[in-house]
Amino acid sequence: FSLGWCLALASLFNLSGFSMEIGAILAGITLSMSPYRHEISSKMRQLRDFFIVLFFIFMGSQLSFTDVGPHVFSIIILSIFILVGNPIIVMVLMGLLGYTKRNGFLAGLTVAQVSEFSLILVTLGIKVGHLTSEVLSVITAVGLITIAGSSYMIVYSNQAYQHISKYLSIFERKGRKVDEQKHHVKSQYDIILFGYDHIGCELVESFKRMRSSFLIVDYNPEIIVELARKGVPCRYGDVNDLEMLNELNLDRTRMVISTITDFGANLFLINEVRQQNKDAIVIVVSHKIEDTLELYKLGASYVIMPRLLGGKQTSAIIEKHGLDAKKILEEKNAHIKDLESKTDIIDYT
Say if residues 235 and 217 touch (Cβ distance below 8 Å): yes
| pLDDT tens column, 23-77 | 888 888 888 887 777 777 777 778 877 887 887 777 667 666 676 777 888 889 9
CATH of the domain at 195: 3.40.50.720
Total-model pTM: 0.58
Does 158 share its domain with 188?
no
Look at residue 302 in the predicted model and tell me its pLDDT.
Answer: 93
Is 133 inside any structural domain? yes
* Boundary of a domain, candidates 149, 171, 193: 171
pLDDT band per the 50, 70, 90 thresholds, residue 308:
confident
Residue-range definition of the domain harbouring residue 187:
183-340
Does 202 share its domain with 155?
no
pLDDT band per the 50, 70, 90 thresholds, residue 199:
confident
Average pLDDT, the chain: 83
Taking residues 170-196, report their average pLDDT: 73
Does 48 share its domain with 150?
yes
Is 312 inside any structural domain? yes
Residues of the chain with pLDDT > 90, as a percent, come to 18
Is 113 inside any structural domain? yes
Interstrand relation of 281-285 and 255-258 (parallel, antiparallel or unpaired)? parallel
> In DSSP terms, which residues pair with 303 in a beta bridge?
284
Q: Is the pLDDT of residue 150 over 50?
A: yes
* Boundary of a domain, candidates 171, 193, 214: 171
Taking residues 13-18, report their average pLDDT: 84
Residue of 213 and 20 predicted with greater confidence: 213
Largest CA distance in the chain: 81
Look at residue 63 in the predicted model and tell me its pLDDT.
Answer: 63
| pLDDT tens column, 238-280 | 888 887 888 888 888 999 999 988 898 899 999 999 999 999 9
What are the helix (H) ranges across the chain?
2-15, 20-32, 37-61, 65-68, 72-80, 86-96, 101-109, 116-128, 133-155, 157-164, 198-210, 221-229, 242-246, 263-276, 289-297, 306-321, 325-340
Does 326 share its domain with 234?
yes
Which of 155-159, 229-233, 333-337, 342-346 is the least confident region? 342-346
Does 167 share its domain with 202?
no
Taking residues 137-155, report their average pLDDT: 87
Residue 280 DSSP symbol: S
What are the helix (H) ranges across 110-241?
116-128, 133-155, 157-164, 198-210, 221-229
C-alpha 335/C-alpha 327 separation (Å) is 12
Residue 285 C-alpha from the chain's centroid: 18
Does 221 share its domain with 165?
no
* Boundary of a domain, candidates 111, 144, 171: 171
Taking residues 298-304, report their average pLDDT: 92
Kindly report the backbone phi and psi dihedral angles of residue 304, in degrees, each rounded to the nearest multiple of 5, phi listed first: -80, 130
Residue 239 C-alpha from the chain's centroid: 12
Does 236 share its domain with 287?
yes
Q: Is the pLDDT of residue 347 over 50?
A: no
C-alpha 6/C-alpha 27 separation (Å) is 5
Q: Which residues contact 15 (CB under 8 A, 6 or more apart)?
A: none
Q: Is the pLDDT of residue 8 over 50?
A: yes
Report the number of distinct structural domains present in the chain: 2
C-alpha 63/C-alpha 47 separation (Å) is 25
Does 129 share its domain with 61?
yes
Q: Which residues contact 187 (CB under 8 A, 6 or more apart)?
A: 249
Does 91 share its domain with 146?
yes
Residue of 348 and 256 predicted with greater confidence: 256
| pLDDT tens column, 82-126 | 999 999 999 999 888 877 788 888 889 988 988 877 877 787 787
Residue of 166 and 252 predicted with greater confidence: 252
Is 347 inside any structural domain? no
